[in-house]
Structure 1
């Protein structure tokens, strides 16, 4: 395949090849640009989806704020704003559904739409609950106001009554307490309406129960006396109790629905976050895919560009190098090689022209070849003669230099041999005397050091015995210290017994004190002796250590002295070697006589070589004449070249 492609490109002109190469590079650049545009478009589309999902997330977050306002004010505009936000979210879902294609995304979007429908249903129920709750709260206010009016009327009835004044006073005090309880109840109800706390609702219900119970107690204490306003107040408070229970139920219902709304809002937020995470993951995947596509496109472009450049360069440079090599061979005089040209481009035309030039030069050189052969024969003979002449001359020179060098070396060697022989003889005698004296001294040193080692060993043994005796003294001191301590204790016991005996034991107590004092001084003296003995033992141990070290050094000195004796023996043997070398010097003198004979033979050889050089010079003259004639013929042939 490559050979076929190469053959096809061989016949294309160079400008067409360059156009193809640059066109391929431009095409690859367009491919890389298209890949980058497609990748960028995909990333931008994914970012638009994330932006739209984020908008939905902002709307979902605003639902909580709007519901808090609606819960606080129970106003229709707040409810309308909530439903409008839900409508906006559903519209955004419809727009987003047209952009999302993955099944996972559409499933999350469908789940969000279902939760929004549930959110709308819960919000409708909360609206109904808020309406019922507000109506009940209004009824509670009017009912409690009616009950207060009826209690005031009951107070007026009790004031106007003239019978049973004491009971009337008790009833008035109870009704006054009822007014205080009603005021506290109204505060609890308002607080319950504001906070929606179940505990405060239970407190309000317990308060109304206690008020109704108090009214019943007042009616029971009237002993059958008619109290129409008080009875109507009791009925009104009973109705208030019922409305309060329904109000508490509506509060609980709205709170439960509100919790469902918050749960639905949290689910919407979680699903929306999953959509954002999914889109972010997809965007990251798109970025990685875009990077891979761009890198792959770039690598392919680089590879194809390099291959195209290499191929086109090969199509141009390789034949150019072949042509250059052919020109170099022609310049160096090599006309034996032909080139086969099968190209039709400019490089093929150049190679064919070079081939025609090679053929013409080869024919021209062939005509010169016969004449050059004759010249070569004459030149060869002349060269042989010249070589013989030069060799003879160089040999003569070398032999002459050898004669001079040999004569100088012989004279210097003889003189040096004489001096060395005298010095060697004197050195041998001195070395022999010194070696003998050294052996005697070394023997005396060895005996002296060995005696010193024996005395050092005796000193070490004596110091060891001294240390053992010091240790025994320490043992005796321990016994003395123990006896002194026992004596001290006995004296102390005796003093105690004498003190018990009173006046009769006073003299014995004096003796006991003296004994104890003596025992204490004995103990102190024993401790001082012990310190001295410890110091003596430390000194003895140090001396023993030093003696051991000295004995080791003495043993080392004995070894070194014996080594010195061995060295002296080596010196003695070296002196014998020197005497043998004197014999070798005499032998060398005999060899110098033989060198003189060699010099004589070299001189004779120089004479013979000179004769052969004269004969070779005659042959060189005749060969030179023939070479001159052939040079004229070669000059005539060379005139055919144009310069």
Structure 2
């Protein structure tokens, strides 16, 4: 639980105990936490440094061992007897050489000499040589044989158990070269017993056991992560969250193990067991210090709060029993003693205040009684005035409604009169415009009659011209006929002229026909013009009669408009009088409403005064009870 929540539920003694304990324990906890973290960091650094040294030592030992074995195999491959055996095909001496080498270097499980075809021609033991019989192709396909032909070593077959040697071996193969020509004669294989690494790590494991670190282990891994050696055995379980440090076999010194990782690891629970014990002891010591600090804080808080508790008991008796006559003594000269003296002075002042309060409550009670009687008499008078005012307001409301109805009807009559006036003025204006239109139409009819007369004259002229054209066509026809007769008389010389006369005659006949058609059309046009003239004369006569009637209607409408105008003026006067009457009644009603509002406000104020008087009565009663609750 957080401290600010605890402070709201604990008493002063508990809060003092808590705060003093926190002030005493917080620096201790902080220093303990810092020291624990520092110790843990130092121990982790020591463990990592120890593992790094072991991993680096294993790397150096294995690297030196591999370099030494590779150097030995290369020097053996340069032996003269091995070269002569491959050149001559006699292998008794090479068998003896290989047998002596194996006896001298026990870390190798066997040595075999192969020719270029992969056939085993010599070995350190006859049984080993027989194991490779018929495996020439398989030998040629092995990684170590191919690497030897290229003049290098490989460790690709180290992760598997060799079927010939029956164990895990490191194949160190070197080419056997001719001394003069540099031609490759064969390959020398030296099978290094990989189990010998266990002898190398024995010293490191013994050091770990002396440190009581039974879970310490060393591993050799390839660059891809395959385990080549594990000091716990091939079937050992992996350590969960193990503390591990590795050393990398770099290429500074060329050997077959370049890229290998040498790992030193251990179980963290075992490595940090001392740290855990130290941490447990530290926690126990801190808990003991916390308990002692809490006890000391409790005693200190009890000594501080005991006088305050006595003072609290005295205050509680005053609150619960109202006894201001009691006395108490706090024998202390600190701030609590000063508080007690101040409290005694406060009790004395409270006693005097209570006496004055009792006297004041009696006076207040009498005053409130007189105010109550006066308020009741005033309420009775105002109630009667409010009833009379309400009746007057109802009457004014009825007069107001009657006036509003009269004003609405006068407004309606005024609207109707205004509408009649507008219609009369509109009718007179329409008649005026109609008369103007009739006059314009009459003038247009006269113009049209004149145009029709001129059209008739032109039609008659066209008829005369048509007769002239017809006469010319008849004469042309006669001339053409005479020309045809003359052409017949002329014989052959007049044939061309006869053709022309025939065409002229044809044109003359067509002109006569067209002239006849034009004459017929002119006769029709003339008849139509005559009918139009008659209709124009009849329309003009009717238009004159309509204009006479329109003038008569215009005079009647003007007289009616004058009468409507007089009625309109009278209605306006009536509406104005009704509006003034309505405004006066509205003012009277507003005055009555204001008077009613004022009367209501007076009633509300009187009721408020009564409530205040009642509240004062209650307050006086309460003050009297409070004053009587203390004994003075």
TM-score by length of 2: 0.29
Higher helix fraction: Structure 1 or Structure 2? 1
Bigger relative CO (Cα 8 Å, ≥ 6 apart): 1
Higher strand fraction: Structure 1 or Structure 2? 2
Q: Which has the larger radius of gyration?
A: 2
TM-score by length of 1: 0.29
